[in-house]
Structure 1
Amino acid sequence: MDVMAAAKQMVKDRLAPGVTAAWLHDGAFEVEVYGDATWQPTVTPLHAGMLYDVASLTKVIGTTTVFLQAVSEGLVRIDDRIQTFLPDFPHATTFRQALTHTSGLEGYIPHRDDLAPAALRQALITQLKVTAECDHEVVYRDVNLLLTGWALEAVYGAPIQALIQRRVLAPLGLPAATFAPDPARCVPTSYSKAAGLRRGVVHDPKAAILGVHSGSAGLFASLADLIVFSEYAFGRRRSPAWPSAFAGILRDETTGGLGRSLGWDLRRDAAGRLWLYHTGYTGTFWLIQPALKQALIVLTNRVHPTPNMAFLTARDKLIAAFLAQG
């Protein structure tokens, strides 16, 4: 399939205003910047180099990478209990369970989006329960990476977003990635007459409340940032900050063979090879195959002006067709 044409087709089908994408393969890369940045309140152009709210890609660029650094440095182990680092957390959940989304943690926090940052953090640490899903099902929940981030704060003594900036974004030389973007450089997300245009402010409500203590979302990044990160995954770029533990990332870390690595989802192509995969709510998705030195990066703002659910079906079909090529 022509994967770049398929990415453009999502815009032609009006599933998102625009797309910025790259297909890295055979030592080169194809780039596509197509469509608009906004449809409302007016149509504005999409330009190369603009920053996207990458939503949950924050989890793998940032929090997972810092965790792998901590593992590489001998400061944590995958099967350590999170409670060791967060004494108020009442469960025996391990980092393995949290990072593979097999923790079984769930719970309703009343008036969650109205809480102050410290109150929301404390509620998520203390008020969740462990269900029968634990170790038996992958159930993707932000709290798993929030807890991991707060444990890393205890390890390193700084807010998780500061750790990501200091330990990942800066030393790896990601050219534009930031938690404090210039709104003028950003592709907007939602729009309503009541709230106006959301631009340069994180879309995710929990991340908006938690601010520097959010390891689940909050990062703004350009296509170039994800290309650079992919090249570290390929081994083409090297840095003392790149965690040696990443070498084992293409491994199912669940206890029941459920297809999740640490932080990353795992997808298998027609030739039987595993790929790292992750998505972001705002309309971002990313596949990496380190041994093949191949990656597909697709950035959109499918939440503009409001979330387009049909985008998700088109995304899943694109990924299935891409992997079916082998």
Structure 2
Amino acid sequence: MDTTEQTARIVAGNAVVRPALDAMITAGIMPGAVYAILDGDDTYIQVLGQAATAPVPLPLDAGMFYDLASLTKVVGTTPLFLRAVQDGLLGVDQPIKDVLPEFTAPHVTFRMALTHTSGLDGYIPHRDELPPDELRHALLTQLHETAGTGHVVQYRDVNLLLVGWALAKVYGDPIQRLITARVLPAFGMRTNATFSPDVQRTVPTTYDTEGGLRRGVVHDPKSAILGADSGAAGLFANIDGMVQFAHVTFGRVQQIFLHENWAEKLQRDFAGGRSLGFDLLEGPVSHRQWLYHTGYTGTFMLLDPTAHRGLIVLANRVHPVVHPEFLDARDRLIPRFLSATESA
């Protein structure tokens, strides 16, 4: 691979990413960010801003762990599901009810859950106040299929919670323990991704005078209740861990956990314009489908396993409070990055 071309693409991508993230920090949308731009063997990592601003400023360095939020779905739960398929324990088009008989939506399959086309809907009173067993029972029994089941994309955390519970059933351990014992070591991420981070090495999320500083504890309320039984959120990682995950998806890190080129096989539409676990974004020049996923806290990842290119951003848009304007800024950044990177 031509290293001159790699460098040019990274420079072009950074010319989009750095100003956009700097502007978000200046506007107070987030206190800081750590990001990586990848192209083949080249990786450019940059640290911007601070880890926190309240109640006092906290310095940020590249080794700090971020609450990945929903990136947990694709870094941990999706690879483990693919392994379960490989092991003959689960099938992509198998109804979830086959594995979780208490589940009351008989036509919802693993494909629907992983592509967020399950169409599950329903209201659970006081959902974020229920104890773990009651929350799990409610999510299994109080959601129903709709006209959109199997057809319409509606992103819901419950989809990957269901997948995680099924994986726990077939492997005999809670999903977070399975990810810790199987996925992270296999991907070489044992030291830079965890469900139990060192608080002092973790970027804080929310802060208020009543609740204080939330640090080292998952931000997502359902995952905070469910603990080890949540495959939808809960994983913390630093930028080295996420770069390692990217290189695993590129096939540049040798592993025997999944078949070769497993991530390239995800670069196709499995349903509703989505892959298993990932969203898909078409490259404007290559017309390949990039794997894309975001996390509520402000994290996001964009990977092309075929060309070995990517962007990973670890940011914290929920500190000290949630900043909705982050979403528009992120959504403007992504197509500009794709255009700059593929055109360079």
TM-score of Structure 1 vs Structure 2, range by shorter chain? over 0.9
Instruction: Note if 1:229 corresponds to 2:245.
Output: yes
Q: Deviations over 1:9-57 (max 9, x none)?
A: 3222321100100000142011110101111111111112000000000
Instruction: Note if 1:55 corresponds to 2:72.
Output: no
Question: 1:3–1:167: structure 2 CA closer, same or farther, 3 Å change rule?
Answer: farther
Give the deviation of 1:3 after TM superposition.
3.2
The farther-off stretch of 225-234 and 168-177 is 168-177
Question: 1:11–1:243: structure 2 CA closer, same or farther, 3 Å change rule?
Answer: farther
What is residue 172 of structure 1 aligned with on the other side?
A: 187
Report if the CA contact (8 A) 1:100-1:260 is conserved. Answer: yes
Instruction: Note if 1:278 corresponds to 2:293.
Output: yes
Give the deviation of 1:137 after TM superposition.
1.5
Written as runs of structure 1 = structure 2, the 5 A alignment for 1:59-208 is 59-91=73-105, 92-174=107-189, 175-208=191-224
Instruction: Note if 1:323 corresponds to 2:338.
Output: yes
Report if the CA contact (8 A) 2:132-2:225 is conserved. Answer: yes
The farther-off stretch of 205-214 and 230-239 is 230-239
Give the deviation of 1:69 after TM superposition.
0.6
Structure 2: runs of 5 or more not aligned: 1-11
2:186 is aligned with what amino acid?
Answer: P
Output the CA distance in 2 between the equivalents of 1:243 and 1:152: 19
The farther-off stretch of 316-325 and 213-222 is 316-325
Among residues 260, 265, 269, which one is paired with 1:248 in the alignment? 265
Give the deviation of 1:269 after TM superposition.
1.4
Output the CA distance in 1 between the equivalents of 2:108 and 2:44: 42
Structure-1-length-normalised TM-score: 0.96
Output the CA distance in 2 between the equivalents of 1:160 and 1:43: 35
Structure-2-length-normalised TM-score: 0.92
Structure 1: runs of 5 or more not aligned: none
Measured on the aligned residues, the alpha-carbon RMSD in Å equals 1.2
Over the matched positions of the two proteins, sequence identity in percent amounts to 53
Output the CA distance in 2 between the equivalents of 1:232 and 1:159: 24
Report if the CA contact (8 A) 2:264-2:306 is conserved. Answer: no
Residue aligned with 2:290, SS:
strand
Among residues 187, 209, 227, which one is paired with 1:211 in the alignment? 227
Give the deviation of 1:308 after TM superposition.
0.5
**Runs of 4 or more consecutive aligned structure 1 residues displaced over 4 Å after TM superposition:** none
What is residue 313 of structure 1 aligned with on the other side?
A: 328
Output the CA distance in 1 between the equivalents of 2:243 and 2:131: 36
